[in-house]
Amino acid sequence: MMPWILLLSVFGLVLNLAFAESLIQPDWSLGLLLGALLAHRGYWPWVFAGTALHDLVLHWSPFITLPWVMITPLVMIWSDAQVGASLVQRFVILGFLTLILWIWDWLPEAALLTFLLATVIWHFVAQKHAKPA
């Protein structure tokens, strides 16, 4: 499943570059990658590689969102050990990661769209990994 998300993430980069000035759109690539990471933290090597490519293509630097995304699996492990796994923790992490877009001069609407896209992808990927009862 992850190679498909990575491929769609590259296509999302193309969409972001093609329609950057013409319409408000989410950060397609980052939304897909964050959704996959929140659904299954075992995807971290794929997500790190995709986020590095995302930062290099869109921001010309690998240090915009990549350091925060690299910390995310550790924060998820720590918060799961302290409180237990819950949706609230994941939404707080996702909110913080999309807030970074707003700080780097993305429109608030685009950051909100990225948050919503990541939420949909997160639930889709988590549903694919869920074991039937």
Parent domain of 74: 2-129
Going by C-beta distance under 8 Å and a sequence separation of 6 or more, which residues neighbour residue 74?
none
Higher pLDDT, 4 or 129: 4
Number of structural domains, the chain? 1
Distance CA 36, CA 92 (A): 16
pLDDT band at 56 (very low <50, low <70, confident <90, very high): very high
Q: What is the pLDDT of residue 51?
A: 92
Q: What is the mean pLDDT of residues 18-23?
A: 84
Q: What is the pLDDT of residue 48?
A: 92
pTM: 0.89
Q: What is the pLDDT of residue 41?
A: 82
Q: What is the torsion angle, in degrees rounded to the nearest 10, for the CA atoms of residue 38, residue 66, residue 96 and residue 24?
A: -90
Checking if the pLDDT of 1 tops 70, the result is no
Both tokens of 75, joined, read: 């924060």
Checking if the pLDDT of 84 tops 80, the result is no
Orientation of helix 28-39 relative to helix 66-82, angle to 10°: 30
Q: What is the pLDDT of residue 115?
A: 93
Q: What is the mean pLDDT of residues 97-117?
A: 87
Q: Which amino acid is at 55?
A: D
Q: What is the pLDDT of residue 22?
A: 83
Residue 47: name the closest of 101, 108, 113, 122 by CA.
Answer: 122
- ∠ CA(93), CA(74), CA(68), 5° rounding? 55
Unique residue bearing structure tokens 């790190």:
48
Whether the CB-CB separation of 118 and 94 falls below 8 Å is answered with yes
